[in-house]
Structure 1
Amino acid sequence: MHSLDVARSLASTLAQQGRGIATRGAARQPAEPLELYDMEGCPFCRLVREALTDLDLDVLTYPCPKGGDRYRPLVEKLGGKQLFPYLMDPNTGVAMYESADIIDYLYREYGGRPAPGGWRLRARTAASLAASVPRAGHGLRARDAAVPELPLILYSFEGSPFARLVRERLCEMQIPYLVRQCGRDQWQDWVLPPVRNALEMEYLPTQRHRQELMARAGRVAVPYLIDPNNGEELFESERILDYLDQHYGR
């Protein structure tokens, strides 16, 4: 079952046409993480997450699946309606709806450049809609789960088919989490860890969180979950999903 989920998630990644994988970095980093009220399976939220990976911006994600009762009412209280994505920037006081407006803001404020013209093409939205199809509603509807005292930490990048499975589960369980972006910024990042090992390839990451992950865990593989509530740290999407179900599922 898990292998089938991975295959479907890979189909979603292919539909994204390479977006949400590489990073070109931000001109400056925010002092505090951005806050995104998000549905993992929503194509408009996906566009924003692709931009965040491209800009190498960490984000504190508050999942708002359909039927969710934790953060959806808060978004309505803050902004006047339950519409997603909704971005709050504690560094500037800016809060906004609409994926196109959020993307323009991120590139202007942190990228030091206008949003690429491709972000404004209808084809981009169509590709994001297509990326939702293989997942058949995963990451859209709430399931009952406990709330951790502290947000979890997930080393991820938007286009990772393995990290997507974890983000879907976190969204459905309405568990907040901090994304530490691990977008690829050199050709060696595109070589899968098992291939690197088989080739005995020396791997020296240059992206900031890949370096951090190497120092922390001795290797770079995405996703990597840290639960600061009990000190657990795990690689591998299947293990992480089992952990979430066992510790926070009801």
Structure 2
Amino acid sequence: MVLHAINTATAFVATWARFGLGSRVSALGPRPEKPLEVYEFEGCPFCRKVREALTVLDLPVVVHPCPKGPSRYRAWVIENGGKRMFPYLVDPNTDTAMYESGDIVRYLFRTYGAGRRPFLLASGPIGNFSSQMASLPRLGRGTFYRGTVEPEQLLELYSYEASPYCRLVREVLSELGLPYLLHNVARGSRARQAFVARSGKMQVPYLVDPNTDTALFESGAIIAYLRGTYRA
């Protein structure tokens, strides 16, 4: 209980360091037919900027965690993209694949947005520094691969970037290298109504695991489930 309280407190600090960016949806443009795909890991400050943009733009995305170590998706990115660099975005709707968080953010807002980028996603060095500061309180959580049993079907996570409780769950998914379909449901999200119809209430994080017919609220319960089910 004490450790979970400390983890939650430092996750809140990470949110404050980004001034709550990734808690609310902005003006939206066209919607993609297929979910985007992103190869990233939770402890990466540059990956954070892309996740924030995805939340602000209310985009569903398949997350392929690439923590440091022998994670299978890290090797895939090197083989298919040619570089050991993260984040890496794949958009099957436009046959686009790209590195560099700044380029990815600009692409996302140009393709799926209808307004200006938030300051911390448009300010270059200031935004990068703020994101690096947000990583410090978490002491590298979500950065290193800890081994996993590979699921047959994608897990699903209802989340939004600025939620400290969702951050705790995403860190464990990253460390275990578990791919998942991320449903962003920040304030103003068009997906909230369907989420409430599915889950029964507006509360995140919410994990759905079709491999075991399991659905869970509460970050502590989800983390215990993931570690108990998928840690190798």
Instruction: State the TM-score bracket (shorter-chain normalisation).
Output: over 0.9
210, 216, 219: which is aligned to 1:237?
219
What is residue 105 of structure 2 aligned with on the other side? 103
Alignment of 1:60-209 (within 5 A): 60-113=62-115, 115-116=117-118, 118-121=120-123, 122-185=125-188, 207-209=189-191
Cα separation, 2, equivalents of 1:25 and 1:55 = 7
CA drift of 1:118 comes to: 4.6
203, 209, 217: which is aligned to 2:199?
217
Report SS of the residue matched to 2:191. helix
Report SS of the residue matched to 2:62. strand
Cα separation, 2, equivalents of 1:100 and 1:129 = 14
Identify if the C-alpha distance between structure 1 residues 118 and 217 changes in structure 2 by more than 3 Å, giving closer, same or farther. Answer: closer
Further displaced range: 150-159 or 23-32: 23-32
**Residue deviations 1:35-94 (CA, integer Å, cap 9, x gap):** 000110100000011111110011100000011331011101111011000000011110
Cα separation, 2, equivalents of 1:116 and 1:160 = 18
What is residue 40 of structure 2 aligned with on the other side? 38
46, 49, 74: which is aligned to 1:47?
49
What is residue 188 of structure 1 aligned with on the other side? none
Any gaps of 5 or more consecutive residues in structure 1? 186-206
**Partners of 1:25 and 1:56 within 8 A in 2:** no
Cα separation, 1, equivalents of 2:17 and 2:71 = 31
**Partners of 1:214 and 1:220 within 8 A in 2:** yes
Further displaced range: 63-72 or 135-144: 63-72
What is residue 204 of structure 1 aligned with on the other side? none
14, 17, 22: which is aligned to 1:12?
14
RMSD: 1.2
Aligned residue identity for 2:29: A
Query: Percent identity at matched positions?
Result: 48
**Residue deviations 1:108-155 (CA, integer Å, cap 9, x gap):** 111144545552312111110011000001000000110111111000
Which is higher, the Rg of structure 1 or of structure 2? 1
Any gaps of 5 or more consecutive residues in structure 2? none
Cα separation, 2, equivalents of 1:68 and 1:13 = 29
**Residue deviations 1:167-192 (CA, integer Å, cap 9, x gap):** 0000000000111001112xxxxxxx
Identify if the C-alpha distance between structure 1 residues 103 and 211 changes in structure 2 by more than 3 Å, giving closer, same or farther. Answer: same
Report SS of the residue matched to 2:143. coil
**Partners of 1:169 and 1:241 within 8 A in 2:** yes
What is residue 24 of structure 1 aligned with on the other side? 26
Cα separation, 2, equivalents of 1:96 and 1:52 = 15
CA drift of 1:208 comes to: 2.6
Cα separation, 2, equivalents of 1:246 and 1:25 = 40
Q: TM-score, normalised by structure 1?
A: 0.88
Report SS of the residue matched to 1:30. coil
Report SS of the residue matched to 1:37. strand
**Partners of 1:61 and 1:177 within 8 A in 2:** yes
Cα separation, 1, equivalents of 2:136 and 2:122 = 22
Runs of 4+ in 1 over 6 A off after TM superposition: none
